[in-house]
Homo-oligomer: A and B are copies of this chain.
Amino acid sequence: MTATGTTRTWAGSTLAERKAVRRAQLVAAGRELLGAGQAVTVRSVCRAAKLTQRYFYESFGDRDELVIAAFEAAAHEAVAAIVEAVAETDGRPESVARAGVRVAVEQTIDDPRRGQVLVVAPVSDPVLFAKRDEMLPVLTALFEEHIDSDAGDSELVASALAGALVHLFFRYLTGELRVERAAFEEHCVRLLLAGGAGWRRPSVDTG
């Protein structure tokens, strides 16, 4: 048998394998830069990955594609952890909400780099903002599945909830929100349980 096409090896690996390695290196470098709040350009990411720019275009059409890949890598980790935690609850709404919030906090606040990628970076990168906006329904749907809310138009509810949580996490992560972690988590749980309501009694209900 002759080694032709993609089976030819170089330093023990095929071209496809090398491409995959290089792609992973670039995505990891992109994550590092995003997580450190640094600019992601073709040059900066290739420098961080210790690859020449020629290899960038082997896997990505442009910088945006790379940045999205980096974001998705981080997001999938967080979502997977949340899904797992939720699956281990007894399924009661409060258990689900608590597990979800706990893990979300762990994934973003206890791992500041991932938090930076998922929560802070989208603020200054329209590409990431749009990507995050696209992925949020995945998360809200997960909770809607377990938490029955008779709160009204579900799209409005979901949007308000997403906006509220994203903003809370952003301010907490950047240190603008000076509250105890427990209070922060409790508030997020309440928001989820009420389909967005962290408050017991809307004023109109007691009027």
Given A163-B168, A165-B163, A166-B163, also A199-B151 (CB < 8 A): yes
CB within 8 A of A160: which of B147, B164, B183, B205? B164
Closest residue on chain B to residue A93 by CB atoms:
B203
Q: How far is the CB of A109 from chain B (nearest CB, A)?
A: 15
Please, what's the 1-or-0 string for A143-171, where 1 marks a CB less than 8 Å from any CB in chain B?
00001111111011101111111111011
Contacts of A201 in B (CB 8 A): 150-151, 194
Contacts of A191 in B (CB 8 A): 160, 196
Q: Chain A binding site: helix, strand, loop or mixed by DSSP?
A: helix
Contacts of A179 in B (CB 8 A): 153, 155-156
Contacts of A123 in B (CB 8 A): 126, 129
How many copies of the polypeptide does the oligomer hold? 2
Docked-complex contact A198 and B160, CB < 8 angstroms: yes
Docked-complex contact B187 and A152, CB < 8 angstroms: yes
Contacts of A195 in B (CB 8 A): 198-199, 202
Residues of A whose CB lies within 8 Å of any CB of B are: 93-94, 123-124, 126, 129, 147-153, 155-157, 159-168, 170-171, 177-179, 183-184, 187, 190-191, 193-205
Sort A-B residue pairs by CB-CB distance and give the 9 closest, nearest first. Answer: A163-B167, A151-B199, A197-B197, A194-B202, A160-B164, A124-B126, A164-B164, A163-B163, A156-B187
Other than A155-B179, A196-B197, give 9 A-B pairs with Cβ distance below 8 A: A149-B199, A156-B187, A160-B165, A164-B196, A194-B197, A194-B201, A194-B202, A195-B199, A200-B205
